[in-house]
Structure 1
């Protein structure tokens, strides 16, 4: 089985020992993704905007691995305030529309930076 690593180029990947995404055969697994700007700093925005940005970055990683949002079969969303579920869910729904992957949303105490409110993982299947 072919295994291909996708990197975002951050120092974190080598330090922590992970990849932005991994394609193993026809499966693509995207690591937890947060809303960072082009400089790698947390996006100063609310839950909806952070979710949209994180999902844009997920889509970029999928594309680099040869997949797309339409291939996503599962997402996991970790949120720091479950009361923001409607904003986060609306952004998720706008991105995935009729794809409707299996998903989970759970509240966590915090993420790696206090400014971040959502982190998203994705899994895609690109079998013919």
Structure 2
């Protein structure tokens, strides 16, 4: 079973889904720090990551999942040293769940105001 997932409160580009559910796995598109109107939120990594996690929460919910179902995260950041600033926020978002994780420094993201993009993979057991 393959199902494309869209969360109405998260802006969507033209040629991709917010996520695809295949069987019991959910693969999200990388999310950036934009609000429901497509405006960039914040100018620091923690504020931007907070918006990214809000977007991911909406997408996971639309897929029938939550952060406790996440098995892997991939974070793309423009400054790898900023990842250390996200420890408290990640603890708040994931609680006792500790997904596999990777952080990758990139020269820039699509919008130069964006400091972070995150994609996740979740396993849903329904």
> How many corresponding residue pairs?
124
For structure 1, the 5+ residue unaligned runs are: none
Question: Which residue in the other structure is 1:67 paired with?
Answer: 65
Which one has a larger percent helix, Structure 1 or Structure 2? 1
SS at match of 1:99: coil
Which residue, 116, 120, 123 being the options, matches 1:122?
120
Q: 1:33: Cα distance to partner?
A: 0.3
Cα RMSD after superposing both structures: 1.5
Question: Which residue in the other structure is 2:107 paired with?
Answer: 109
* TM-score scaled by length of structure 1: 0.89
Q: 1:44-59 maps to which residues of 2 (within 5 A)? A: 44-59=42-57
SS at match of 2:28: strand
Question: Which residue in the other structure is 2:79 paired with?
Answer: 81
The runs of 4+ residues in structure 1 deviating greater than 2 Å are 7-11
For residues 71 and 85 of structure 1, the distance between their equivalents in structure 2, rounded to whole angstroms, comes to 22
String of CA shifts for 1:30-56, please: whole Å, max 9, x gaps: 110011022101113310111111011
Q: 1:96: Cα distance to partner?
A: 0.8
